[in-house]
Every structure is written in C-alpha cells, then in structure tokens.
Amino acid sequence: MKANYILVSLFISCTWFSCEKTTVPKAPEFDAKVPSSIYKVGDSIIFNLEGNPDVITFYSGENGAAYSFKGQERVYAATTGLSFYSAMYAGDNPECAALKYSTDYTGVYTPEAIRQATWVDITDRFHIPPINGTAAVLEPSGEKDISDIFPDETTPVYFAWFFTTNENSGRTRFQIRDFEVKGIVTDDPDVSGVTYDFLSCGFQMIKGEGFEIQDHETTTPRVTEAMILWDGVFANTSFKEGWAVSLPIYPTTEVNLGRDYGVGIKSALDARLLSHGYVYRKPGNYRVTFVAADANAYGKSEVVKHIDITVIP
C-alpha cells in the first residue's frame, strides 16, 4: 500500500513538473511611472520601473521608435524637391551655365541626341551665384518643389547642365556639388529624405563644339565623384559648349521609412532594472511605451505600458 502511494505521488509530481515546463509563462508584473508629464528639451527624464521581467523594450515615441508603427510601415505622401550647391568664379562669362530638363531625351549621350531633345530651362527657379573672384565659393540653390515637371508618376525626366564659353573670352569656371532630388513630406519635414544623391543621378559630361581645337587634360570639363566642373584654358580663342546630363530621374510620390523599432534596455541575463533615463532633443508630444516580457522555450507573455509625454522648447 505504501509503495502504491509513493508511485502515485511520483506520477503526480512528474506530471505537474512536466506541465509547468511546457507552459508559456504568465504575463509579468510590471509598471512604469514618471514624476511629470511635461518636460523641456534637454531634460533628463527618469522613468521608474516596477517588477522584474526577463526583458524590457523601450519605445521613445519619436519617428522611427514609436510602438504604434512597430507592425506597419511609415508611408507618407511626398512631393519631389531639388537642391544643389554651385559656384561661379574667374573669367568673364556670367551666363556660362543653365539647368534644364527633358521628357523626350532618348538617353543617348551624344551631342546629336541632346540637340534633338526638347529641353526646358528651370535655372531661374534656383539661386545661382554671380562670378566671385578666382576661388570657388559654393552657395546653396534653395530647395525647390519640382513636382510639376514630371508628366506623371511613371515618366522620368533627364536633367542637364548646359554650358558655354564665349569666343575670345576669359574662362569662367562653374562648379556644382550635392545635387540632390528629395522626397519632401510637407506634413512632417523631419521625415523627408534624399531619393537621388549626386552619385545616383549619374551625370555624364558630353563635349560639343570647340573641343576639337583644344582640350587640355587638367582643364577639360568633367564629372567626378564629388562634382560637375565646367572648365577650360584661361584664354579661349573659340566658342565651346558642353552638357552634363543625368540618368533618368523619377518623381517621388511617397516616402516609406519602414517599421519602427524599440531599444532593448534589459535582457534575461541582466539584474533587475529600477529606472531608465532618456533625453528628448526636439519639442513635441510623445507616447512612450515599455514592453515587458517573460519568456521560456515555449513562448512569451508581454505587458505593455504607455506614458504620454509633452516636451516643450
């Protein structure tokens, strides 16, 4: 009889132990609190934490770190913007450069193909500096909306810088850097981004009239990894023309930033975490989220705590 009792007890114990080991853990006891809901930019905000979950993940509520976007992509309607830096220096050709675009250019990088295309001048939309001494002083063009130059969402445009140097004139050098096409999000400019940087615009220099007469390696017009440079010998005896033409550029109608992510502030191997500090660098309303979880080999259970914070200048 006693032996049977021992066997039954062992069976019950083993069964209970087995069930415990194969069950997803219960949701942990956890809470997060903060002394105030209003802070200033630069304040060190201390969140007091209660409980001892295995894992804690922190979402600040900023763009890229909001819990509400952890399972969906951030997609914003956008317009297409353009900006660049330019410098004009030396010589006496103040009209040496013009920015144009085409929707019927064939993409063949020859003078003949360029002349056959229709090009629309948009130079006057941007700030182009006057001749400034003999050294390059780059000035910003201003960021301008160019959405109107695209016929539709699927038709690209080609940009081209049209360059000339007058006959019997002093060379004027013209330099373009940081030519960027951007997706502009009007509702939230902070999430605007570059869709084509200078390198991906893929400008190529095509030389036309005048370069069959003289073309010096150190002063020839060229495109480098960093800039477009219209150049030439100092004293020109003949008219010269050339073009820096881009790859096809498509309009930007939306900006997709993907999903947001939290930051792990405690793992199962860490000691109990009693507080977490954070500093906001911009004013705004933020929904802070802490996700606490206990886990084992069979799954995990979570507790989600939200705290609304207002950050003032």
Reported as a pLDDT band with limits 50, 70 and 90, residue 191 is confident
Give the mean model confidence (pLDDT) for residues 88-112.
96
Given a cut of 80, whether residue 215 has pLDDT beyond it is no
Nearest residue to 161 (alpha-carbon basis) of 56, 68, 231: 231
pLDDT at 5: 43
Please give the mean pLDDT across all residues of the chain: 90
Structure tokens at 66: 């909001």
Q: Whats the size of the chain, residue-wise?
A: 313
The residue extents of the domains of the chain are 28-72+259-312, 76-255
Scanning the structure block, which residue is given the tokens 């060190």? 44
Q: pLDDT tens, 234-264? A: 888 889 999 999 999 999 988 888 899 999 9
Domain 28-72+259-312 classified CATH 2.60.40.10? yes
Given a cut of 60, whether residue 4 has pLDDT beyond it is no
Structure tokens at 246: 């881009």
What residues have CB less than 8 Å from 191, skipping those under 6 apart?
A: 63, 74, 76, 185, 255, 257
Q: Which amino acid is at 67?
A: Y
Taking the C-alpha atoms of residue 306 and residue 62, their distance in angstroms, rounded to an integer, is 14
Q: pLDDT tens, 35-70? A: 999 999 999 999 999 999 999 999 999 988 999 999
